[in-house]
Amino acid sequence: MFDKGILLIISGPSGAGKGTVVKELIKEDKYCLSVSVTTRKPRPGEIEGVSYYFRSEEQFEKLIADGELLEYAAFCGNYYGTPLKYVEERLAEGKNVILEIEVQGAVQVKERYPDAVLIFLTPESISDLEDRLRGRRTESDEVIAMRLSRAREEVKLMDKYDYIVLNDLVRNATSRINGIVETEKYASERNKDFPSKFLSEKGVD
Amino acid sequence: MFDKGILLIISGPSGAGKGTVVKELIKEDKYCLSVSVTTRKPRPGEIEGVSYYFRSEEQFEKLIADGELLEYAAFCGNYYGTPLKYVEERLAEGKNVILEIEVQGAVQVKERYPDAVLIFLTPESISDLEDRLRGRRTESDEVIAMRLSRAREEVKLMDKYDYIVLNDLVRNATSRINGIVETEKYASERNKDFPSKFLSEKGVD
C-alpha cells in the first residue's frame, strides 16, 4: 500500500491549541515539522536548516520565481515560505510532514499539491475559544475581541478543509489526526498502482 | 459533529473474505447489515424483514419505478435490491449500514447516494487469492480459474472505490474499516452545519 508520507496542513483559530497538538504529534517519529524559509534575520540560538532556512530577499524572490515554494506570505516586512524540495524529500522518506499555516496559505498549498490533507483544528464553540484565550491571561480584552472576530471569519472558510478536528482534549485531537493519516493511506487515489501490484508475483507490500 | 450513520459499501473479489469481515463488524452495535428486497420465494426459516423483504415481481417493479431502491440486480431469474427507506432510517438512527454488493451495484449506489463510502476489500495479491480459494476445498479447478479471471477484471475497477482495504488478517481489516468510518465522520463535507453550530451558544455536540 501507499508508503510515502502525507502532507498535513493544520490551521485553525488563534487559541485553538494548534501548537500543543503539533508538539504532541511530532513526538512520534512518523511526523516531522516543515522547516520554513525566511528573509528574517536569525535570532541568537536559531540554526540554519533547523529553525529556518535564512535567505536574502533576492534569494527568496528567486525561489518564488522558480516555483520552489509551496506557499509564501509576507509578514511584518519579512517573507516566510515553505520549500517544496524539503517537503518532497521528507514525504519520499515516508514522514508525514506537518505545516501549521493560515487559511490563505493552506489554500495555496492545496492548489500546488492536491494530495495535501487540510485539517481545521478548532474548539467546540466560539465561547470555548473565548475561555481558552482568557485562560492564557496574556492578552488584553482588545486582542481577545480581535481574535474572536477573526475566528468568526475563519470558521466560514471551513469548506476549504478536508477534515474538522475538535480539540476538546489534546489526546483526542492527536488520536483523530493519527486516524486521518492512517485512513488517507488507504484512499484509492493514493494507490493507483494497486492493480498492477496485486497482479504481480510479489503482491502489495 | 456528524452523528448520523455512514453507508458502507463493501465489495471485493470472491474469496477476499468479505463475509467474515462483515460478520465481525456487525458484532458491534454501531454497524448493521442492510436487509435486501427480493422476488425469490422465502426458504424455510427465513423471516420477512430480517432475512429479506419478500415481494412479488409486480411489487418489485413498482419499487424500481418509484425510485425506492438504492440499487438492484437480477440474478438467476429473481430480483434483488436495496430499499432506500430501510437504509435511510438506520442511518438517521446513527447506525453505519453495510451493503455487501458487487462493483456494478456499488457504482449505482454512489450515483444515487454520493455520501456512501465504497470499500474494496482484497487480499494482497492474485496468488494470495488463489491460495484462499484453494484452501476452501469446496470449488473445482474450473470454478477457481473463473473466479481468478473475474478478480483480474474487478481489480481494474478499483478507482470507483474510495478506499482499498487489505484483508491480510480479519482483525486488521476490521480495524482499518473502523478507522475509515471514524475518519469519515470528521470530513468537512459531512459537517456543513459546523460553522453555525460553532457560533451558537451551545457549540458542537
Q: What ranges in A155-204 are assigned the alpha helix state H? A: 170-184, 194-199
Q: Return the biggest CA–CA distance within chain B.
A: 66
Contact B122, B16 (CB under 8 A): yes
Instruction: Give the mean pLDDT of A28-49.
Output: 94
On whether any CB of chain B is under 8 Å from the CB of A172, the answer is: no
Residues A113-128: what's their mean pLDDT? 95
Contact A162 B187 (CB under 8 A): yes
Contacts of A1 in chain B (CB under 8 A): 164, 166
Residue A139's pLDDT is 82
Nearest CA to B110 among B65, B161, B72, B158?
A: B161
How close A41 gets to chain B, by Cα (Å)? 39
How much of chain A, in percent, has pLDDT values that exceed 90? 82
Q: What is the DSSP letter of B10?
A: E
On average, the pLDDT of chain A sits at: 93
Strand pairing report for B69-75 and B78-83: antiparallel
B125–A198: do the CB atoms touch at under 8 Å? yes
**Once rounded to an integer, what is the mean pLDDT over residues B169-193?**
97
Chain-centroid distance of CA A32 in Å reads: 10
CB contact under 8 Å between B163 and A180, yes or no, is no
Partner residue opposite B195 with nearest CB, options A158, A197, A203: A158
Contacts A156 to B, Cβ<8 Å: 195
Q: Do the beta carbons of residue A73 and residue A105 sit within 8 Å?
A: yes
- Longest CA span, chain A: 66
Residue in A with minimal Cα distance to B202? A125
Distance CA B40, CA B27 (A): 27
Nearest Cα to A151, choosing from A134, A135, A130? A130
pLDDT band at B126 (very low <50, low <70, confident <90, very high): very high
Per-residue pLDDT, averaged over A105-126, amounts to: 93
Which of B155, B159, B186 minimises the CB distance to A180?
B186
Best mutation target, B164, B166, B175, B178, to test chain A (most A CBs within 10 A)? B164
Q: Is 0.80 topped by the overall pTM?
A: yes
| CA–CA–CA angle A6, A8, A9 (5° rounding) | 155
pLDDT at B45 over 80: yes
Residue B15: closest CA among B204, B191, B155 = B155
Cell of B200: 451558537
The pLDDT assigned to B61 comes to: 97
B97: closest CA of chain A, how far (Å): 19
pLDDT tens digits for range B15-40: 899 999 999 999 999 999 999 999 99
> In this predicted structure, what is the pLDDT of residue B205?
65
Q: In a 3-state reduction of DSSP, which class is residue A85?
A: helix
What pLDDT, in 10s, does the model give residues A67-86? 999 999 988 899 999 999 99
Coil, helix or strand at residue B129: helix
**Nearest alpha-carbon partner for A119 in A171, A169, A170, A181:** A181
pLDDT mean over B87-93: 96
Query: CA B133, CA B127: separation in Å to the nearest integer?
Result: 10
Closest-CA distance, B58 to chain A, in angstroms, reads 39
For residues A172-189, give the mean pLDDT.
97
Beta bridge pairs of residue A73: A80
- For B132, the grid coordinates are 484462499
Cell of A78: 519579512
Sorting pLDDT into bands at 50, 70 and 90, what band is B139? Answer: confident
